[in-house]
Amino acid sequence: MLDMQAVIDASFEPMTRTEKYQCCMVMAGGGFRFGYYLGMYAAAVETGNRPDLLLASCGGSIAAAVIQALPDDAQRKAWISSPAMYQFLCGLQSTPKAAIGRSFIHAVKRRLTASRAALIPDLFNDYFFDIPPQLPLPPLQAQAQDLPAVAIVGGKMLFSKDQVGQPRAGRKLFAETVFCDPRTAALLDSMPSPMSDPMWGDNAIAPQLLTDVQMPIGDAVRISISDMFYFPCHSHQGGHYTGGVVDLFPIELAKKLAQRVVMELKAPFSQALAIPAWRAVLGVDGNQRLRHVHSQHADVWIDASDVESVFHKRGMQQKLSWPKNRLRLLMPARHETYLEHVEAQWQYGYQRGLEAFGQPGPNYKQHMRHATRHNKASPG
């Protein structure tokens, strides 16, 4: 017999179901070389692949906010090249926690500790660099029809300052949180956090994925760039938040949100520094996560796996200052040099984007092997 209620429900389904975005471009990480994301976006638009959603984490969130606020490539490039942005980056100053000996000892301890997030970390005070209070982002105007929506990944901290240093004992410490508009929040409703999956072992990330449609864009970006041990967590209206590293490569979220997904191929993390930090704070092996991301389908893969080697002597540099006994972040001494570096980043992203969008078939597998050739299974 015909189920009339099912027919009625089906007839109303298109009216009640939130429509997916057409194309999501994931801007995953990038640090303070975020200029290359502007080039990638320009290539997408030029080749007829304009994304209607940008899903961003860490440095990529700065690029996403600039793209959403400004109407064309020239204005976007001018904004991130501005004296205000240059001065902001120059204002990232070392704290006493960045003393060379202390940094080395703590890195060795994390390297030698195989347990996953054994203690509640001090993300309130244990960080290397202070961030200037004002992040120079363009004000968001009335959104033009052809500009993308933006969703930014961060992590809500589920512990207080007085609990730092206590044994975690299996407790979940972070809730993956997406700062977004109501449409995006509706699409993510009831989705679990991909980073809480038991495949990652005894991780510190809660199963429930949170969304926040009230967070100001400046605070969302500031949250997302709060990388563990590098920058302090961010506080907003009584809550404390850490960075987009909680889900640095959110391919599962992108698939939930859009019909087509554009992702980057990334190089593996350092086994000496980054992987122990991931393990100590999140209880996750970052390279295991990266291998899993690369094993999934995306409609377009943009090969950014060599970005570190291409720009290792350009832009912001991490240096040891022996006279001052500090690990420091050094910017080019002249603003004119910074302008050249921004242009180089933009061109890199633009050219890699053109290559990726111009490929007629799934040739990304060859690039994927290149991106992961050193990313072998690691203990922990």
Q: What DSSP assignment string belongs to 87-118? A: HHHHT-EEPGGG-HHHHHHHHHHHHH--SSS-
CB burial string 147-159: b at 16+ within 10 A, e below: bbbbbbbbbbbbb
Measured between alpha carbons, how far is 257 from 275 in angstroms, rounded to an integer?
29
How does residue 141 score in pLDDT terms, banded at 50, 70 and 90? Answer: confident
pLDDT in the model for residue 312? 75
Whether 218 shows a pLDDT value over 80: the answer reads: yes
pLDDT in the model for residue 371? 52
Mean pLDDT to the nearest integer, 26-40: 91
Question: Which residues make beta-bridge pairs with 303?
Answer: 265
Q: What rounded mean pLDDT belongs to the chain?
A: 88
Q: Contact 34/63 with Cβ under 8 angstroms?
A: yes
DSSP state for residue 207 in the 8-state scheme? S
Whether 368 shows a pLDDT value over 70: the answer reads: no
The CA–CA distances, whole Å, from 331 to 14, 76, 230, 313 equal 52, 20, 16, 11
pLDDT in the model for residue 113? 87
Q: What is the pLDDT of residues 301-318, one digit of tens each?
A: 999 999 888 887 776 778
| Identity of the amino acid at 44 | A
Residue 335's H or E segment, with its range, is helix 335-358
Identify the residue whose tokens are 């997030």.
117
Listed in sequence order, the residues at least 6 apart from 148 whose beta carbon sits closer than 8 Å to its beta carbon are: 25, 50, 51, 52, 53, 54, 64, 67, 68
The pTM for the full model equals 0.89
Residue 236 backbone zone (phi > 0: left; psi -120 to 50: alpha; other: beta): beta
CA angle 246, 250, 252 (to 5 degrees): 125
Q: Is the dihedral of CA 72, 142, 53, 196 positive or negative?
A: positive
Measured between alpha carbons, how far is 250 from 349 in angstroms, rounded to an integer?
20
Question: Which residues make beta-bridge pairs with 236?
Answer: 239
DSSP state for residue 67 in the 8-state scheme? H
Mean pLDDT to the nearest integer, 145-163: 94
Q: What is the pLDDT of residues 51-110, one digit of tens each?
A: 999 999 999 999 999 999 999 999 999 999 999 999 999 999 999 998 888 888 888 888
Whether 33 shows a pLDDT value over 80: the answer reads: yes
How does residue 16 score in pLDDT terms, banded at 50, 70 and 90? Answer: low
How does residue 195 score in pLDDT terms, banded at 50, 70 and 90? Answer: very high
Q: Contact 204/246 with Cβ under 8 angstroms?
A: no
pLDDT in the model for residue 144? 59
Higher pLDDT, 153 or 147: 153
Q: Contact 193/209 with Cβ under 8 angstroms?
A: yes
How does residue 142 score in pLDDT terms, banded at 50, 70 and 90? Answer: low
pLDDT in the model for residue 360? 43
pLDDT in the model for residue 359? 59
Share of the chain above pLDDT 90, in %: 70
pLDDT in the model for residue 379? 37
How does residue 4 score in pLDDT terms, banded at 50, 70 and 90? Answer: very low
How does residue 293 score in pLDDT terms, banded at 50, 70 and 90? Answer: very high
Measured between alpha carbons, how far is 261 from 266 in angstroms, rounded to an integer?
16
DSSP 343-362: HHHHHHHHHHHHHHHH-SS-
Whether 328 shows a pLDDT value over 80: the answer reads: yes
- HSE (CB half, 13 Å, CA atoms) of 379? 6
Q: At 161, is the secondary structure helix, strand, or coil?
A: helix
Whether 260 shows a pLDDT value over 70: the answer reads: yes
Measured between alpha carbons, how far is 147 from 241 in angstroms, rounded to an integer?
28
Backbone angles phi, psi at 329, to 5 degrees: -105, 115
